[in-house]
């Protein structure tokens, strides 16, 4: 699960996979049920998905691809290895160019209901509070009446632009186009953001019997479908039902909300934090007596005018705030603190005012709150403090409702402060990581995420993955294992190979400093500088071991070292951690040794010649070449102690095996083995080089091929 590539879908804000609320489905082709709930699927070679207008709604739809689920997803890794995945996505949206048309061929109309202030009817005045009637809006179609056959639906659209208390949908002037029919039934289906149907709708009623009332409707576009059903059968097959549709949208005056406009409502003004990441801000009510220097504001001055007449346990205070466009990757942070027991319940709802029946997230007490999920994260739930986040809040209007408890008790005498802010990372990544932000592929939405340290993970870095004892153990292994560099450094110093001694010593020290910084113990220099030095000197040390085995002039060695230093510096500066670098370094080292041998042969052996000019006697040529190869092999056998060379190759093989076994979880162990084996292999290779002068004194001389240390120039006859 921690390495499984997955694809997630969510409507309105970016997805955030987490083990608390995400259960993988078998296949994305099985379909999506409600995009308001995040849904994740394993990535497959090919995924094709088709969603109808009954499954999607107007707005922003987010698709996220992730490498795994779980707390280790955000944990910083010392290495990142494993398969990489590329993908190609093609998303097409088939829609009518005219938003007021529908159907597969865009040949059916959706009739908009145009809204305007209107005169209140006597029937409505008896049902609605007088203060709501002052802001009443009536919406009607441009057509006076619609006449349709049984089972033929008509679709209407209604736009709610501001927070409203309710929507009242009525059908008027209901009649038949012929006489002799009296039984009429008009089924009304209503849905927010998508086309309603008999099986997919938010509200339904027989509108011919009574109007449909929707309390605290969401902001946005509502779709209405009206279908005549169960008409009385007549001999006339052309019988149709005629009706007119209208809706009333009562709204409370400014500063009031709730049933009968008896509750207080406050608009929250946005204050952008200075010098912060994009969209970080806090919200304060637009009233007098509130200090704008702090994100906290007292509740008691705002609640002292609240009316407790009626139901004392159903008193609310509402706050309205706007999440700006492009900030869907931010988090709403709500805090309450009091010097006594908090006597409020907190409810939040997107696009409208919350209530006991309609809410997206809520907190009542320690045992009554929203279901645990990554999108509702509770940090403090004591009697005197409440602290929670709404993760990746959708863009638009949010309603925050405070439900008063014990309004008649002495608990109202306590002082309670509240803060509402838009933050990038929850709890500042719990002080165990770095808060980073990026933009989606379109560049229109900024989202934030935590990049945790080596020991923590989770979306907020609050989960301890590596204990303190484990951290100490990993640090000791990775740092102390570099002491193996003492072996080749000691032997190089003993043989007065000062350049190699400097390389091995510097490589061991820089590797220890780099891993001390990598595990979070101590950083002597910038991390990138330490990483470059570690890899560069390691590459140089391995290649220099091979070059050391060749006996060539120091001038030529310096030339080869210079070329190798430039090449390895480029490798260390560009993708130093790729696995192919290990093979490349060994190949370069072997190539350097081979070049050294060629130079040595060309300078210390006479040219292959024959005693009498150029001989065309192939038998004599063959014998000469055979004798030359024999002397060369004999020289190589005497040049090296092959027992040490074999031990060096075995240690090098162990180093290669440990490198391939490294994973994110076992890196600290196998990389420590890598340190020990790679330095040990260098030590054995250095020991395998025999004393040149001693071996040369034992070589038999030959008239044509003579290996000397002082005079290596070819002689001419």
For the domain that residue 546 is a member of, what is the CATH number? 1.20.1070
- Which residues share a beta bridge with 296? 419
Q: How many residues appear in the chain?
A: 717
State both tokens at 655. Answer: 């180093």
- Which residues share a beta bridge with 450? 435
End-to-end CA distance of the chain: 76
State both tokens at 151. Answer: 């089972």
The reply to whether 247 falls in a domain is yes
Q: Rounded to whole angstroms, how far apart are CA atoms 337 and 385? A: 4
**Is residue 94 within 8 Å of residue 36, measured between CB atoms?**
no
Q: What is the DSSP letter of 229?
A: -
**Is residue 557 within 8 Å of residue 547, measured between CB atoms?**
yes
State both tokens at 702. Answer: 């030959």
Residues 6+ apart with CB under 8 A from 172: 243, 244, 245, 246
The SS3 assignment for 32 reads coil
Looking at the fold, whether 239 and 362 belong to one and the same domain comes out as no
The SS3 assignment for 20 reads coil
The reply to whether 312 falls in a domain is yes
Strands across the sheet with 154-160, in order? 101-102, 108-112, 154-160, 220-228, 186-192, 203-206
Q: Rounded to whole angstroms, how far apart are CA atoms 453 and 72? A: 11
**Is residue 379 within 8 Å of residue 388, measured between CB atoms?**
yes
Q: Rounded to whole angstroms, how far apart are CA atoms 506 and 497? A: 14
**Is residue 140 within 8 Å of residue 246, measured between CB atoms?**
yes
Helix, strand, coil percent values for the chain (each to nearest 5): 30, 25, 45
Cβ neighbour number for residue 631 with a 10 Å cutoff: 18
Q: Which of 231, 274, 275, 202 is nearest to 34 (CA)?
A: 202
Residues 6+ apart with CB under 8 A from 376: 361, 369, 370, 388, 389, 390, 391
State both tokens at 688. Answer: 């395998």
Q: Rounded to whole angstroms, how far apart are CA atoms 580 and 565? A: 18
- Tell whether the torsion through CA atoms of 408, 410, 413 and 417 is positive or negative: negative
436 by Cβ neighbours in 10 Å (0-12 / 13-18 / 19+) ranks as middle
Q: Note down the domain range covering 582.
A: 468-604+630-688
User: Model's pTM, two decimal places?
Assistant: 0.78
- Strands 316-323 vs 263-272: parallel, antiparallel or unpaired: parallel
The SS3 assignment for 488 reads helix
The reply to whether 284 falls in a domain is yes
The reply to whether 92 falls in a domain is no
Looking at the fold, whether 410 and 476 belong to one and the same domain comes out as no
Looking at the fold, whether 361 and 493 belong to one and the same domain comes out as no
State both tokens at 144. Answer: 């006076």
**Is residue 234 within 8 Å of residue 184, measured between CB atoms?**
no
State both tokens at 589. Answer: 């080292």
Q: What is the DSSP letter of 30?
A: G
- Strands 376-381 vs 296-298: parallel, antiparallel or unpaired: unpaired
Q: Which of 206, 228, 323, 319 is nearest to 267 (CA)?
A: 319
**Is residue 462 within 8 Å of residue 427, measured between CB atoms?**
yes
Q: Of the residues 391, 424, 457, which one is the last residue of a structural domain? A: 424
Looking at the fold, whether 510 and 657 belong to one and the same domain comes out as yes
Looking at the fold, whether 186 and 290 belong to one and the same domain comes out as no
The total domain count for the chain is 3
Cβ neighbour number for residue 361 with a 10 Å cutoff: 25
Q: Where are the alpha helices (DSSP H) in 618-666?
A: 618-639, 642-660
Q: Rounded to whole angstroms, how far apart are CA atoms 686 and 678? A: 12
Looking at the fold, whether 239 and 378 belong to one and the same domain comes out as no
* Residues lower than pLDDT 50 in the chain: 20, 607-615, 694-717
Looking at the fold, whether 472 and 500 belong to one and the same domain comes out as yes
Dihedral Cα 571, 575, 576, 578, nearest 10 deg: -110
- Tell whether the torsion through CA atoms of 166, 172, 176 and 182 is positive or negative: positive
Measured in degrees and rounded to the nearest 5, phi and psi for residue 121 equal -80, 160
State both tokens at 469. Answer: 């004892």
Tokens 């020990």 found at: 676
Cβ neighbour number for residue 158 with a 10 Å cutoff: 21
Cβ neighbour number for residue 516 with a 10 Å cutoff: 18
What pLDDT does 367 receive? Answer: 84
The reply to whether 588 falls in a domain is yes
Strands across the sheet with 61-67, in order? 39-42, 5-11, 61-67
State both tokens at 300. Answer: 């008691």
The reply to whether 79 falls in a domain is no
**Is residue 308 within 8 Å of residue 316, measured between CB atoms?**
no
Tokens 């510096």 found at: 569
DSSP string, 186-226: EEEEEEESS---SSS-SEEEETTTS-EEEESPPSEEEEEEE
Dihedral Cα 523, 526, 529, 532, nearest 10 deg: 50
Looking at the fold, whether 272 and 414 belong to one and the same domain comes out as yes
**Is residue 513 within 8 Å of residue 525, measured between CB atoms?**
yes
The reply to whether 283 falls in a domain is yes
Q: Rounded to whole angstroms, how far apart are CA atoms 491 and 501? A: 8
Q: Rounded to whole angstroms, how far apart are CA atoms 346 and 440? A: 31
CATH code of the domain covering residue 364: 2.60.40
Q: Which of 675, 672, 680, 676 is nearest to 474 (CA)?
A: 672
The reply to whether 625 falls in a domain is no
What pLDDT does 194 receive? Answer: 85
Q: Of the residues 424, 455, 490, which one is the last residue of a structural domain? A: 424
**Is residue 58 within 8 Å of residue 193, measured between CB atoms?**
yes
CATH code of the domain covering residue 227: 2.60.120.510
**Is residue 282 within 8 Å of residue 420, measured between CB atoms?**
yes
Looking at the fold, whether 412 and 488 belong to one and the same domain comes out as no
The SS3 assignment for 606 reads coil
Q: Rounded to whole angstroms, how far apart are CA atoms 489 and 511? A: 14
Looking at the fold, whether 274 and 171 belong to one and the same domain comes out as no
Looking at the fold, whether 411 and 370 belong to one and the same domain comes out as yes
What pLDDT does 596 receive? Answer: 73
Q: Rounded to whole angstroms, how far apart are CA atoms 432 and 409? A: 43
Inter-residue long-range contacts of 82-88, CB under 8 Å, 24+ positions, other chains counted: 82/3, 82/663, 85/5, 85/43, 87/43
Question: 155 vs 107, 148, 188, 197, 222, CA distance in Å?
Answer: 13, 12, 10, 10, 10
Looking at the fold, whether 346 and 486 belong to one and the same domain comes out as no
Q: Rounded to whole angstroms, how far apart are CA atoms 305 and 418? A: 18
């Amino acid at each position: 699960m921690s390495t499984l590539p997955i694809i997630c879908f969510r409507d309105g804000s970016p997805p955030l996979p987490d083990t608390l609320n995400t259960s993988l489905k078998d296949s994305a082709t099985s379909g999506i049920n409600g995009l308001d709930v995040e849904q994740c699927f394993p990535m497959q070679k090919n995924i094709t998905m088709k969603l109808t207008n009954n499954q999607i709604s107007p707005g922003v739809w987010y698709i996220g691809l992730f490498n795994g689920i779980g707390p280790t997803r955000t944990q910083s890794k010392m290495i990142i290895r494993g398969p990489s995945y590329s993908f190609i996505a093609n998303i097409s949206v088939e829609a009518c160019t005219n938003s007021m048309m529908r159907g597969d061929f865009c040949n059916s109309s959706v009739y908009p209901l145009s809204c305007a202030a209107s005169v209140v009817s006597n029937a409505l005045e008896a049902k609605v509070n007088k203060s709501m009637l002052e802001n009443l809006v009536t919406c009607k179609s441009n057509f006076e009446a619609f006449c349709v056959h049984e089972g033929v639906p008509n679709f209407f659209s209604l736009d709610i632009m501001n927070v409203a208390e309710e929507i009242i949908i009525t059908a008027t002037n209901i009649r038949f186009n012929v006489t002799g029919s009296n039984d009429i039934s008009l089924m009304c289906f209503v849905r927010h953001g998508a086309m309603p149907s008999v099986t997919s709708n938010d509200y339904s009623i027989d509108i011919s019997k009574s109007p449909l009332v929707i309390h605290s409707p969401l902001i946005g576009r509502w779709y209405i479908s009206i279908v005549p059903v169960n008409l009385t059968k007549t001999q006339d097959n052309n019988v149709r039902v005629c009706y007119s549709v209208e809706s009333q949208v009562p709204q409370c005056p400014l500063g009031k909300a709730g049933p009968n406009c008896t509750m207080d409502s406050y608009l929250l003004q946005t204050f952008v934090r200075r010098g912060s990441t994009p969209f970080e801000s806090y919200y304060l009510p637009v009233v007098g007596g509130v200090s704008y220097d702090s994100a906290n504001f007292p509740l008691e001055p705002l609640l002292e005018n609240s009316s407790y007449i009626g139901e004392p346990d159903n008193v609310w205070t509402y706050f309205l705030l706007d999440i700006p466009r492009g900030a869907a990757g931010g988090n709403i942070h709500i805090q309450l603190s009091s010097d006594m027991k908090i006597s409020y319940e907190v409810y939040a709802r997107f696009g409208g005012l919350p209530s006991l029946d309609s809410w997206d997230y809520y907190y009542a007490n320690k045992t009554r709150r929203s279901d645990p999920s990554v999108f509702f994260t509770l940090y403090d739930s004591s009697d005197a403090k409440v602290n929670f986040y709404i993760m990746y809040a959708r863009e638009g209007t949010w309603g925050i409702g405070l439900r008063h408890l014990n309004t008649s008790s002495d608990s109202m005498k306590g002082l309670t402060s509240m803060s509402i802010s838009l933050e990038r990372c929850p709890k500042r990544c719990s002080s165990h990581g770095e808060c980073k932000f990026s933009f989606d592929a379109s560049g229109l939405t900024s989202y934030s995420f935590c990049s945790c340290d080596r020991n923590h993970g989770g979306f907020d870095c609050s989960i301890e993955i590596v204990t303190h004892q484990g951290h100490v153990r990993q640090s000791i292994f990775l740092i102390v294992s570099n002491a193996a560099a003492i072996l080749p450094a000691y032997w190089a110093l003993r043989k007065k190979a000062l350049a190699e001694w400097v390389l091995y010593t510097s490589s061991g020290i820089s590797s220890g400093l780099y891993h001390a910084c990598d595990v979070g113990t101590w950083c002597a220099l910038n991390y990138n500088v330490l990483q470059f030095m570690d890899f560069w000197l390691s590459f140089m040390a391995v290649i220099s071991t091979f070059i050391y085995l060749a006996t060539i002039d120091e001038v030529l060695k310096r030339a080869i070292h210079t070329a190798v230093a430039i090449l390895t510096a480029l490798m260390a500066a560009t993708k130093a951690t790729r696995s192919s670098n290990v093979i490349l370094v060994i190949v370069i080292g072997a190539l350097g040794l081979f070049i050294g041998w060629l130079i040595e042969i060309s300078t210390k052996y006479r040219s292959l010649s024959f005693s009498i000019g150029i001989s065309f006697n192939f038998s004599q040529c063959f014998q000469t070449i055979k004798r030359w190869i024999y002397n060369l092999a004999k020289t190589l056998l005497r040049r090296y102690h092959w027992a040490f060379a074999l031990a060096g190759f075995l240690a090098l093989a162990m180093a290669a095996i440990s490198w391939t076994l490294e994973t994110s979880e076992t890196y600290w162990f196998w990389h420590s083995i890598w340190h020990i084996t790679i330095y040990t292999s260098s030590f054995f290779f250095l020991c395998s080089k025999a004393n040149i002068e001693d071996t040369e004194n034992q070589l038999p001389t030959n008239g044509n091929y003579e290996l000397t240390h002082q005079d290596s120039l070819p002689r001419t006859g």
